[in-house]
Amino acid sequence: MYMAEKVLETVDLVKIFKDSYEVKALDNVSCFVEAGEILGVVGESGSGKSTLARAVTRLINVDSGSIILNGNDITGLKGKEMRKIYNDIQMVFQDAVSSFDARLTIEKNIDEVLENFTSLNRKQRKEKIKQLLRTVGLKEEYLTRKPLELSGGECQRAAIARAIATNPKLLICDEATSALDVSMQAQIVKMLKKLAVELNIAILFISHDLAIVNGLCDRVLVMYHGKVVESGKATEVICNPQDDYTKKLKASVFI
Ligand X SMILES: Nc1ncnc2c1ncn2[C@@H]1O[C@H](COP(=O)(O)OP(=O)(O)OP(=O)(O)O)[C@@H](O)[C@H]1O
Q: Which residues bind ligand X (CB under 6 A)?
A: 17, 19, 23, 25, 43, 45-51, 208
**Could you tell me the smallest distance in angstroms from the CB atom of residue 28 to ligand X?**
15
**Which is closer to ligand X, CB of 28 or CB of 105?**
28
Cβ at position 23, least distance to ligand X in Å = 4
Q: How far is the CB of 188 from ligand X (least distance, A)?
A: 18
Cα-based distances in Å from 134 to 81, 140, 158: 33, 8, 10
By C-alpha distance, which of 69, 67, 92 is closest to 5?
69
For residues 49 and 213, the answer to whether their CB atoms sit within 8 Å is no
Of 54 and 169, which CB lies nearer to ligand X in the complex structure?
54
Residue 16 beta carbon to ligand X: minimum distance, rounded to whole angstroms = 9
Least separation in angstroms between residue 131's CB and ligand X is 33
Nearest to 170 by CA among 60, 58, 63: 58
- Separation of alpha carbons 223 and 42, rounded Å: 6
Shorter beta-carbon distance to ligand X: residue 19 or 141: 19
C-beta of 109 vs 156, nearer to ligand X: 156
Nearest-angstrom CA–CA distance, 240 and 233: 10
The residue type of 140 is E
Q: Spell 159-183 as b/e; 16+ CB within 10 A means b.
A: bbbbbbbbebbbbbbbbbbbbbeee
Q: Which is nearer to ligand X, 16 or 184 (CB)?
A: 16
C-beta closer to ligand X: residue 29 or 33: 29
* Residue 54 C-beta: closest distance to ligand X, Å: 8
Q: 144: which DSSP letter?
A: G
